[in-house]
Structure 1
């Protein structure tokens, strides 16, 4: 597994991050040491709004476990825990009134050890009650009690919320899995190496067939390697465009390994539902 460097500080995937941070309190926190090989970070959001606000996110190739409490969300008093598989499209969440969300972002490839009974692709594009995903151990082993959502959401102290998420995940007893390690390492490579633009190039670099790579990603990441390559390039384009409204799209396309600007614009529009010019105008 790659070394752990603490929670990410970038805003990749968040559409108009400054606007989001003006409406909500957003923090990232580090999990317990035993969990860090599998997790990117915890993310915590609280809001108290006088007017509704819609947040937009281009999802990472990560599964999330989400503890949430806000109007219209399941049992609003007790809170709700759900597993959110990788989102394939732009995710929009309307926020209003008061609410709190405590989330776990797994590393791409890091979720399967917590739910080894099914390929991660089973959860892709779906949001399910956590109890439906995390099956208890088979008899005769007694199931470990899972932390109820309220234990995560109730504490005013942020450290207590983090500790409750640690307890929830540690009770699931993730087992080391070399295939998960490999999947996490490959996704890290895609994320950090701009020269990886095609699946066959990644397969050759690892000395495996493209078909073997597809099977590994379906089982442990939840989407194919081509999708991961594209999504990370769109994340970078989104971040660069957010930092510079007058970004040179032809130059950015070349930086990201696209053959021309039109190809980048096409992928960007297909992912966000709007062309880059609309984002710049907003």
Structure 2
């Protein structure tokens, strides 16, 4: 399972969303571009609940441009009416140039005042005569050019930070002491990179990935025991896993599985989003 779907807590609620690859010159800086679009009937809401892997994004919406910091908890966004967003999921190498202090931006965002970027992306996304794929490609081209002007080449530290992100996404990595041998760097060096390029500790990111994996397994395997899952994820016991899961998601593993496997949760008022799902909900948007 791709990591972009691990953090989607209730997949049946997804809006239409498209994921586009970055141009070759930007692969060191952007993992992918994500573009959700929705058109909900009057009075209807779609609740998007996410537990994304902690990363930074640059997001353009009709209301403005923001640089979004890493998240430390599950998040929710309520969609209404008609709308869109164009986001760039940043690789760690791009973070110092765009989110210079990611730790200060945890669970938050800061405005990026660039009227020209906002106007050009908005024009691309709202061009009525253009087909959907044309609109999205134009918007991504605009945002790509903007990023290329601002993000330098990765450099040695940035390249290692990108490798660290890949290692942290590996389900086999359950402890910090596994990382030095994988990346040929000391624990202290990796901790320093985590602070500068992620704004979070190595331990917290491994914990997040394990809980993402746990949520995924709970959704997809109705017969999997909680104790067996805890063991697979590297937890010492059922109680420790349950405590971590509830602290981050607000519900126990058993309660989450019951909710996630129901097509429509009691009282949440939303079901399948109009237009179906193309990919995943905004993967790292706080």
Query: Which category of TM-score, normalised to the shorter sequence, fits these structures?
Result: 0.7 to 0.9
Aligned-residue offset at 1:206: 4.6
Gaps spanning 5+ residues in structure 1: where? 1-7, 70-78, 132-144
Higher relative contact order (CA 8 A, sep 6+): 2
CA deviations over 1:186-214 (Å, ceiling 9, x no partner): 221121251x3222342465565534332
Q: How far apart, in 2, do the equivalents of 1:55 and 1:252 lie? A: 25
Counterpart of 2:269 in structure 1 is none
Given the alignment of the two structures, is residue 112 of structure 1 paired with residue 95 of structure 2, yes or no? yes
Match of 1:66 among 51, 59, 67: 59
Q: How far apart, in 1, do the equivalents of 2:22 and 2:66 lie? A: 19
Aligned residue pairs total 247
Given the alignment of the two structures, is residue 233 of structure 1 paired with residue 210 of structure 2, yes or no? yes
Higher-helix-fraction structure: 2
CA deviations over 1:99-147 (Å, ceiling 9, x no partner): 111111112x23335338x34323222210124xxxxxxxxxxxxx885
Distance 1:209 1:36, change over 3 A: closer
Counterpart of 1:149 in structure 2 is 118
Aligned-residue offset at 1:229: 0.6
Map 1:13-52 → 2, pairs under 5 A: 13-20=7-14, 24-50=15-41, 51-52=44-45
TM-score normalised to structure 1 length: 0.80
Match of 2:75 among 91, 101, 120: 91
Distance 1:36 1:208, change over 3 A: closer
CA deviations over 1:216-262 (Å, ceiling 9, x no partner): 21011111100111111111111111222343222222221222222
Distance 1:263 1:9, change over 3 A: closer
Gaps spanning 5+ residues in structure 2: where? 128-134, 260-286
Distance 1:147 1:252, change over 3 A: farther
Given the alignment of the two structures, is residue 123 of structure 1 paired with residue 105 of structure 2, yes or no? yes
TM-score normalised to structure 2 length: 0.79
Q: How far apart, in 1, do the equivalents of 2:19 and 2:32 lie? A: 6
Say which SS state the counterpart of residue 41 (structure 1) adopts.
strand
Q: How far apart, in 1, do the equivalents of 2:153 and 2:116 lie? A: 19
Say which SS state the counterpart of residue 200 (structure 2) adopts.
coil
Q: Is the 8 A contact 2:230 2:236 kept in 1?
A: yes
